Amino acid sequence: MKLRHIALKNILRRKAKSGFVLAGLVVGVATVVGIITYVEAMTADINHKLEKYGANILVVPHTDQLSLSYGGLSLGGVSFDMRELSEASVARIHEIKNNRNLAAVGPVALGAVEIGGQRVLLAGVDFKVAPVLKPWWQVDGRLPGVGEVMLGHDAARILQLSVGDPVEVAGRPLAVSGVLAATGSQDDQILFTTLGQAQTVLGKEGQVSMVEVAALCEACPIEEMTRQISGVLPGARVMGIQQVVKGRMETLHQFQRFSYGISAVMLFIGGLVVLVTLMGNVRERTEEIGIFRAIGFRQRHVMAVVFMEAGLVSAVAGVLGFVLGVGGAWLGLWLRGAGHRPAVGMAPELFCGAVLIAVVVGLCASAYPARMAARMDPNQALRAL
Amino acid sequence: MSYLVADRLTKTYGTADAEVVALNRVGFEIAAGEFVAVMGESGSGKSTLLSILGAMNAPSEGTLFVDDIDVYQLPIERQADFRREYLGFVFQHFHLVPYLTVLENVMLPLVTTRFRAARKHAMAQEALAWVGLADKVGRLPAEVSGGEKERVALARAIVNNPPVLLADEPTGSLDSRTSGEVMTLLQNLNQGGTTIVMVTHSEACATYAERVLRLADGRLVDADPGDAGGALHPGKPLQVVAGLSA
C-alpha cells in the first residue's frame, strides 16, 4: 500500500464531495475548452470564407500612372513609365518566410488586343491555380488550352461569340473553349487565355503585368504577408485586401478577449469550489490525519495525500471538461444554423492543455487545505480519545 | 539500564492569569522491556503524560529521553520519524481508518517506509496472525467486533516492531473476557522484549504490569521519581532503522 492508495480510497469513500469538486472544475475547464474550440472553429470558418474570396493580395509593378476617374466613371489612365514584372522575380514570392501560407500564386499578363474592330483586354493566366484564385468562376465549356481562349460573359455577348467559334486574336486564329457565367466583375469583359499564349500575342515573353496571391491568414496576418512579399520584390507594389480581413478578425479578437475573461472567472470559481470543499474535508478528517501523524507520517506525507486526491479529481475533471467543452462548442456551432458549419477538432494539444489547467488549478486551490492538514497537531488524535 | 527517562516533565495550558497545570514535575525511568501501568483519576494528567511520551505534545518544562535520544530536541519532521521507528500506539477507541480494510489499517505505519510492497504485506499479515485475525484481512473495521478492532489496533501498533508500545485504556471499550485476551497479548508482547507503558483505570489490567505509576493532580504520587536530569543524557542523534525511514 502506498500514499496514492489512501488518496484513491478516500475519494471513492467521499463520492458526493469528490463529485462536487469534480463538478466545479469540470464547469471551469469545459468553459475554457468550449470557448477556445468555438473561437478556433470560427477562425477557421472565416479563413475558409476568405479563401472563397480568392486572391487577397495583389502584386503590381511600380508605375507613375495617374488614374483619370471621377464619380465611378473611368476616363482611362495616362502611363508615363509602365513597367512589367519578370516571371523569374515572381518565383521569388515562394521564397518568403511564410510561404506555407501561400494558397496560390497566379501571374497575369495583360494587354489590349483587337477583335473584329473592337479593342478588348486579353489576360493570360495560370489556369492550374484559377480554381483557388477565382473560385466563383463558372465556365460554359471548359478552361482554354493552347490555341484557345475563354470569353467573359459580356465579351462573348458583345463579340457575338459562343463555345466552339473560331476567333482571330491579333492575327492569330484561336478557338473559343468556354464562356464565363456573369460574375458582375471586370472578368465579364475580358478574354482569357494561357499565360504563355498571352505573352506571345502581347509581345511580353517572360513578363507579367501583375500577380494575384491567395494567402491563408490563419497563422499569419495579411500585413505580414504583404511585407514579406515586398521584401522579395522591391520593384513591385504589394497591396493586401485588408478591410475584409481586418474587420472580421478584429471582431473575432474582441470576442476572444471577452471569452477568455469569462473563462478566467469560471476557472477562479472552480478553484474556490476546490478550496472550500477540501478545507471542509480536512476538518472532517481531523482524527484520521491525527492518526496518520501519530503513527509516523511526516507533514509532507499528509500534504502528498491531499495533493494526490486533488490531483486525481482534477485530472478526471480535465478529461470530462474537455469532452464537455468540445461537445458544447459543437452544439453551439450546430445551433448557429445554416451556412458553412466549421469543423470542431479534438486537438491533442487542447486535450493536454485542459488536463494541465485542471490539475494546476486543483493543486493551487488545494495548497492551503494541504498545508492546514499537514500542520495539524497529532495530539488532537489522542485528545479525541 | 534505563531506556525511557522522563525528567521533571511539566505541562501547563492557558495564560499566566488562568494557567492550568496538567503535569507537574513528573519524573521516572523505565528500563528496556519493562511493563509499566499509569493509573490515576480522570484529570490526573495520564493522557497528557502519554501524549508527551508519544512525542506529540512538547512539555512546557522538562526533558524526555528514549534510547538516549532527547525527543523534543528533534525537529518536527524527525519527531514523526521517531514515532514511526520507536513507538507503537494503541488507542482506547481503536481509531481505525474506516475506508481501509483490516490489512490496510495494519499496513498504515509501513506506508511511508521503503519496504517493498510484498514485504509490507507479509509484515502486516504476520502481525494480524499474531493477534489471531489472519482470516479477517479483507474486512472493513465496521465489519469486525469491538475486541477484533482492538486486536487490529494492536497489530497496527506492533507491525513495524517498535521498541516501545504506548497503550491508552486498551481495554476500556471491551468486556472482561475480551479484555483478558488483549492483556494476554500485551503480556506476550512484553515477554518478547517490547517496553510497554499502559494508561488504565482497571486494577485488574494493572496486575499485568511490573510496576504502577500513580498520578494525582498532575503529580506522581506513588513511584520514585528519580532524578535523571539532562546532564546524565547528553543526547544522541536519532538512528535510522534500516528500511523504516521514508
Largest CA distance in chain A: 114
pLDDT digits (tens, 9 = 90+) for A340-367: 555 666 678 888 988 998 999 989 988 9
Smallest Cβ distance to A296: which of B80, B95, B120?
Answer: B80
Smallest Cβ distance to A294: which of B54, B98, B100?
Answer: B54
Predicted ipTM?
0.82
* Nearest Cα residue in chain A from B52: A379
A250 pLDDT exceeds 80?
no
Cβ–Cβ of A287/B111 closer than 8 Å? no
pLDDT confidence of residue B228: 35
Domains of chain B: 32-58+74-212 (3.40.50.300)
* Alpha-carbon B161 to chain mean position: 12
Angle between helices B146-158 and B176-191 (to 10 degrees): 10
Read off the pLDDT of each residue in A377-384 and give the average, rounded to a whole number.
66
Within 8 A of B98 by CB-CB distance, chain A residues are 13
* Nearest Cα residue in chain B from A300: B77
Cβ–Cβ of B99/A13 closer than 8 Å? yes
pLDDT digits (tens, 9 = 90+) for A57-98: 888 887 665 554 444 444 444 444 456 888 888 888 888 888
pLDDT confidence of residue A52: 59
At CB < 8 Å, which residues of chain A contact B?
A: 1-3, 5-6, 9-10, 12-13, 287-288, 291-301, 377-379, 381-385
* Nearest Cα residue in chain B from A4: B111
Smallest Cβ distance to A294: which of B83, B169, B246?
Answer: B83
Three-class secondary structure of residue B87 per DSSP: strand
Cβ–Cβ of A2/B84 closer than 8 Å? no
Mean pLDDT of chain A: 82
Smallest Cβ distance to A385: which of B57, B81, B91?
Answer: B91
* Nearest Cα residue in chain A from B114: A2
Cβ–Cβ of B100/A6 closer than 8 Å? yes
Nearest to B73 by CA among B88, B62, B85, B84: B62
pLDDT digits (tens, 9 = 90+) for B105-146: 999 999 888 888 899 999 999 989 888 888 888 899 999 888
Mean pLDDT of chain B: 83
Beta strands A73-79; A148-151: pairing state: unpaired
> A243 falls in which pLDDT band (50, 70, 90)?
low
Read off the pLDDT of each residue in B58-65 and give the average, rounded to a whole number.
92
Chains A & B: contacts with CB separation below 8 Å:
90
Read off the pLDDT of each residue in B81-106 and give the average, rounded to a whole number.
88
* More confident: B10 or A252: B10
Cβ–Cβ of B51/A382 closer than 8 Å? yes
pLDDT confidence of residue A334: 79
**A297 vs A291: CA distance, rounded Å:** 9
